[in-house]
Structure 1
Amino acid sequence: MTNDETSRDAADIVSAKWQTVLAYADHKINPATTRAAYAQPRLRELFPVVSHGVLYLNRCTGFPAPADVPVVYRLSGGGFQVVRESDGVNLGEPTTLEEAFALVVANLPEGCGPAIIGTADDL
């Protein structure tokens, strides 16, 4: 398999997973969250995973995945908190999902490109 074929396969896997996540019912995740993330072209290239109502975006399709892509959490009083879990840094507390995911894009790890097939060890 060539690098082009591997990249194409990874893109297909990521695209299929996004379609699944975008179709989740609102008891799994607020659909506005997945739509706001998907609206960002750079985030659309990352592998989405939903756990406990939170959308995680990964640079690889397998686990373990690095925790270096910031995560958006809904605050109980309104607004959102964007956290880089790899070092626990709070990157900000924007008021809208659009602002939150723009902050995620602005804080992607250096060299972050489309997700690859593999785990954190393969990055």
Structure 2
Amino acid sequence: MTTTEDSVQSAKVVAAAWTGLLKLGDSLIDSAMLRAAYAEPRLRELFPKVSHGALYFSRCIQYPRTKDVGTLLRRAGGGFMIHRQSDGTILGEPETVEEAVTLIVANLPDGCGPAIDGTADDL
């Protein structure tokens, strides 16, 4: 495959992952979190994953995935927390989902672009 074909394939995998998550409704995660993240073009091009009510983003579509993009979690008492798994840093605890998305984007790793067809080791 050429680099262009790889990019197109990665974009298709990412789009399918987002489509699947957006169809979930509120069964696994607050759908407002998904919609707000999807509305942000820089996050929409990353591979999304949901686990235990949290929204994770990866810069690659294969395992092992990256852990250097902020994770979006809802706080029990209200508001949100943004946590980066790679180093355990709490990036902030914004009150609104829009502020949370803005915080994730502001803390994207240098050179962060669309998810690649590869693993974290390939970046």
- Give TM class, smaller chain: over 0.9
Structure 2: which 5+ runs fail to align?
Answer: none
Identical columns (%): 58
TM (norm. structure 2) is 0.96
**What's the CA shift string for 1:102-123, capped at 9, x where partnerless?**
1000000111100011111111
Cα distance in 2 between the residues matched to 1:8 and 1:51:
26
Match of 2:10 in 1: 10
Amino acid at match of 2:100: A
User: RMSD in angstroms over aligned alpha carbons?
Assistant: 0.9
**What's the CA shift string for 1:54-98, capped at 9, x where partnerless?**
111100011111210001111111111111111111111110001
**Are the counterparts in 1 of residues 7 and 116 from structure 2 also a CA contact under 8 Å?**
yes
Amino acid at match of 2:43: L
Match of 2:70 in 1: 70
In the TM superposition, 1:1-123 aligns within 5 A as: 1-123=1-123
**Are the counterparts in 1 of residues 53 and 73 from structure 2 also a CA contact under 8 Å?**
no
* Structure 1 stretch displaced more, 76-85 or 34-43: 76-85
Name the SS for the 1:62 alignment partner.
coil
Amino acid at match of 1:14: V
Structure 1: which 5+ runs fail to align?
Answer: none
Deviation at 1:25, TM superposition (A): 3.0
Aligned residues: 123
Cα distance in 2 between the residues matched to 1:97 and 1:50:
16
**What's the CA shift string for 1:2-33, capped at 9, x where partnerless?**
11111111111111111001111312111111
TM (norm. structure 1) is 0.96
